[in-house]
Amino acid sequence: MSPDLWKFSLDLYARPGVEQACLALQDAGASVCLLLCGLWLEQRGVACNEQRLLQLRQVAGPWDAEVIRPLRALRVAWKRNALQDADLRSLRERIKGLELEAERHLLERLETAATDWRRTGQIDSGRWLEALARVDGPANRDALHRLRVAVSGT
């Protein structure tokens, strides 16, 4: 597993079923960046606790609300019209690139926040993912399971 959160996220996202699981959880209101960070911390053997969860949420919350979600909303709003308008399609792709760049910056901020957290050497099985997901329902539990399986295959 990569020591770098961005690389870890790219590697994990490329695995079968992960993109669909992340998008389903995102649609349910979860922050995919927080989930990826939680999986990364779990794989690194960093213990999950309330103080750390709060710190990650404080880092992610404003950036997600003020940067990522507005870019995503604009990209989604343009989806239908971009099918028939090449100029709008091009602009939408640029917005998509900005959204990805914003997610990268958030992952870097989350990694920085967790830099000094000591590794326990034990994998805190599912604790990070469960605590950061904050979603319920059978489809969401299935998506979380798919993420766990994808990570365990490393």
- pLDDT 10s digits, 96-124: 999 999 999 999 999 999 998 988 766 66
Write down the pLDDT at residue 135: 73
Rounded to an integer, what distance in angstroms lies between the CA atom of residue 142 and that of residue 36? 16
Amino acid, res. 147: L
Q: What residues have CB less than 8 Å from 118, skipping those under 6 apart?
A: 46
Where do the structural domains in the chain lie, given as residue ranges? 5-152
What pLDDT, in 10s, does the model give residues 11-46?
999 999 999 999 999 988 899 999 999 999 998 889
- Going by pLDDT thresholds of 50, 70 and 90, the confidence category of residue 1 is very low
Model pLDDT, residue 2: 54
- Please report the pLDDT score of residue 123 as a whole number: 64
pLDDT at 90 over 90: yes
User: So what's the pLDDT on residue 66?
Assistant: 98
Average pLDDT, the chain: 90
- Which has the closest alpha carbon to 117: 54, 50, 43, 41? 41
